[in-house]
Structure 1
Amino acid sequence: MTTLNPTGGTPQVTSQTVSTTPAATAPAPATRRSEPYLRLHWTDSLTEAVGYLVVHTLRGGLTTGGTRMRAGCTLGEVEDLARGMANKTATFDLPIGGAKGGIDFDPKDPRAGAVLERFCEAMRPWLDAHWVTAEDLGVPQHLIDEVFEKLDLDQSYHAAIRRSADPAKTLERVRNGLNAAVDGGFLLGDVIGGYGVAHACLAAAVARGRAPGETTVAIQGVGTMGGSAAYYLHEAGMKVTTVADAAGALYCADGLDIPALLDLRDGYGEIDRARLPEGITALPRNAIISADVDILVPAAISYAITPDNSFDIRAHVIVEAANAATTPEAEAMLAARGIPVLPDFVANAGAVAWAWWLLLGEVDDVPDTSFDRLRTTMHDKVAQLLTAWTDDDITPREAGHRWADDPAPLIGRVVIP
């Protein structure tokens, strides 16, 4: 294990080793167990918070992955998430490796911002030169950007921006893209990941021969990812009948008014129950898992679907908006029941793919350009995954892993304009 001085001292590193229902004998999803490139372990002397950086792969000297904060975050969790990021970047042919940061601390604690700042200061050698990070569970993008500004690193994409031919121009392009206004009063950088998830769901409906208006959806989590996915599914005409946040689940058989509910969210992505519109039924939080819908979207926490609750699932397709939302054992049990799981490293990879398209100058601050490219890419990939499922009895995760195991060759140093 690697230990970092909590005041930001020199790291001490030690090496470490359609019908979309195929036959009930569908193979279990593959589980990758390769060792990460690097693990860093940090302890905060002021709060005793513990943090981790896991670099699963490094390509061209760069790696990417968000930083999360939650009470109970573990090294094993961060390792799983870093592995998932490596799969995302390889699957979408991005010239970068995969990593993840995690802090075991309550993001609602008033000391959380200072803890994040000290964590980033400790990880500064990696953030300065190699690790491109961003928002994740418990850490909004604006907060991590504020920390980077305090550390004179400008913005959380700093490690890539500093390599560009014109860092000031690249930083301006990134900021303009992240802050581009889109319909609904949102910012492009906040909704692009959820937009990709929504189109993974729409592509799954097409594979099942269902029109959007005939398709029902349940979404666990209405934060940045789940909320924007719900918004774009609602816009596309899908019936979002059930959503859940930390306070419980909300249900309406005729479909929830998603824009109205999103307007009732607080800063932690929780809906104000005192101002709910009429006609909504409040249910226990875990009712989301057993919702009688076509598509279930776990968009809140890792390991939401386990062997213990997998038999409660009534949905026909699972679309992972949260990272590592389904345990391998639960996914094998779902496969045996003929329920495919669209893996996170495809379904929710829109945000990281878009960030790199933006960094590389392949998209700009015109939202339609970004939406068109992500929509086309997501529909193509999901169609391939579900064709492998129906035609060849290959789980979507295994089919996706085959892409990830054969990334595009990286020749020389990444050139960022």
Structure 2
Amino acid sequence: MRLHWTDSLTGAVGYLVVHTMRAGLATGGTRMRAGCTLGEVEDLARGMANKTATFDLPVGGAKGGIDFDPKDPRAVEVLERFCEAMRPWLDSHWVTAEDLGVPQHLIDEVFEKLGLGQSYHAAISRAADPAATLERVRAGLNAAVEGGFLLGDVIGGYGVAHACLAAAVWWGQAPAEATVAIQGVGTMGGAAAYYLHEAGMKVTTVADAAGTLYCPDGLDVPALLDLRDSYGEVDRTRLPADVQQLPRAAILSSDVDILVPAAISYAITPDNSFDVRARIVVEAANAATTPEAEAMLAARGIPVIPDFVANAGAVAWAWWLLLGEVDDIPENSFDRLRTIMHSKVEQLLAAWAEAGVTPRDTGHLWADDPSPVAGPVAIP
């Protein structure tokens, strides 16, 4: 299902695409960026359906997108009007969350203003005790973790970090011996960089909208993240002297073991895929690699861990939290996600090495065979 919306005040165009529903529910974030298209939202909704099926979640896949600049001072009002227009779906069928250009705290503020409480409203409203479920969700999202972060903000990036670590372990490389480049240091990319740095992996290169930052001995990731603004861009005036500033496109040609595109969709294309020098690509951004570019990488022996596995930790965790399978104790969530992510990445790379099956094709086999959902989802 595809819904088109036009904002009468700004002319902004928005889309809701529901790819799959299970037990009357679909989940997927809402993004806002200038140039967002229906085709992009369709791809993202398809990816969400793959994520939920791959992680055996009792919900289908959907996505919202708004073609508008999130830095425009009218952006919050545009988001409010979009959510009001989509209210019948948000009320009963579409569980949404943060995405590119729309942080979780902002969409939650919009939902509260609309009287819907929180962005997981469509699922929470089905709970046996909606008030208790809402309290559990808020406690989980706002649980404090090391580094001064909140659990809900970092759990997706934590999963990406462990997809990278699982790849290194699989090919027999200690984390301290591996190097990584990360395109994007917003919510997902920043958290991935933090946890890779904490695990001892050398993050030599990161990029934001202003360019690429490089230090051959490894960047001081926690210090770098402290220099970010609310849009995930690093203040260049406060950079350490040993950090080199390179063009933004330089991130893709970084001489590293692992490349993590964690910013925009379609970052790796046929035009730039031959610039990639990494041993493996781990998609933290949704639809980060075009199908043609991925085929070109595979022909060169470079596998791509697809987004619907690598960055699915955020949606998987959200549903574990909704279902009461994890709580606001971060270690419980980290332990479960780490174990599952390592297992899935190891299976993907084993199929790649043993049979030449790309990780995406193996992942699609998992996604095509989800467990059945009989009747309404029981949310405690």
Normalised-by-shorter TM-score class? over 0.9
Partner of 2:194: 231
Number of the residue aligned with 2:137: 174
AA aligned opposite 1:97? G
* Distance in 1 between residues matched to 2:276 and 2:99, nearest whole Å: 26
2:89 aligned to 119, 126, 131, which one?
Answer: 126
Give distance in 2, aligned partners of 1:344 and 1:48.
31
* Superposition TM-score, scaled by structure 2 size: 1.00
Aligned residue in 2 for 1:90: 53
Is there any run of 5+ residues in structure 1 with no aligned partner, and where? 1-37
Aligned ranges 1:156-175 → 2 under 5 Å: 156-175=119-138
Matched, 1:66 2:29: yes
Give the structure 2 partner of residue 211 of structure 1. Answer: 174
Q: Which one-letter code corresponds to 1:94 in the other structure?
A: L
Q: Where do 1:322-333 residues align within 5 Å?
A: 322-333=285-296
Q: CA deviation at 1:409?
A: 1.0
Q: Matches of residues 6-405 of structure 1 in structure 2 within 5 Å?
A: 38-405=1-368
Q: Which has the higher contact order (CA 8 A, sep 6+)?
A: 1
Equivalent residue letter for 1:143: L
Q: 1:414 and 2:377 equivalent?
A: yes
> Cα deviation per residue 1:155-206 (whole Å; 9 max; x = unaligned)?
0000000000000000000000000000000000000000000000000001
Q: Hey, what's the Cα distance between the residues in 1 that align with 2:41 and 2:333?
A: 29
Aligned partner of residue 17 in structure 2, secondary structure: strand
What is the identity, as a one-letter code, of the residue corresponding to 1:166?
Answer: D
1 CA distance for matches of 2:104 and 2:177? 35
Cα displacement (A) at 1:278: 1.9
Structure 1 residue 208 displacement after superposition:
1.3
1:361-399 CA distance string (max 9 Å, x none): 000000000000000000000000000000011000000
What is the distance in 1 between the residues matched to 2:104 and 2:16?
A: 18
Distance 1:411 1:72 in 2: 39
Partner Cα separation in structure 2 for residue 215 and residue 74 of structure 1: 37
Where 2:48 maps in the other structure, the secondary structure is helix
Letter in structure 2 aligned against 1:64:
T
Given residue 378 of structure 1, which amino acid in structure 2 is its aligned partner?
A: M
- Partner Cα separation in structure 1 for residue 241 and residue 123 of structure 2: 48
Q: Secondary structure at the match of 2:131?
A: helix
Instruction: Give the Å deviation of 1:413.
Output: 1.1
Q: Which amino acid aligns with 1:400?
A: G
Counterpart AA for 1:360: L
Gaps of 5+ in 2: none
Q: Specify the SS of the correspondent of 1:289.
A: helix
Task: Provide the rounded CA distance (Å) in 2 between the counterparts of 1:242 and 1:253.
Answer: 8
2: distance between equivalents of 1:363 and 1:375? Answer: 14
Q: TM-score, normalised by structure 1?
A: 0.91
Given residue 374 of structure 2, which amino acid in structure 1 is its aligned partner? I
Matched AA of 1:272: D
Deviation of 1:337 after TM superposition, in Å, equals: 0.3
Runs of 4+ in 1 over 4 A off after TM superposition: none
C-alpha RMSD of matched pairs (Å): 0.3
**Distance in 2 between residues matched to 1:397 and 1:409, nearest whole Å:** 22
Q: Secondary structure at the match of 2:253?
A: coil
Q: CA deviation at 1:257?
A: 0.1
1:28-60 CA-to-partner distances (Å, cap 9, x unmatched) read: xxxxxxxxxx10000000000000000000000
- 1:60-102 superposed Cα distances (whole Å, 9 cap, x missing partner): 0000000000000000000000000000000000000000000
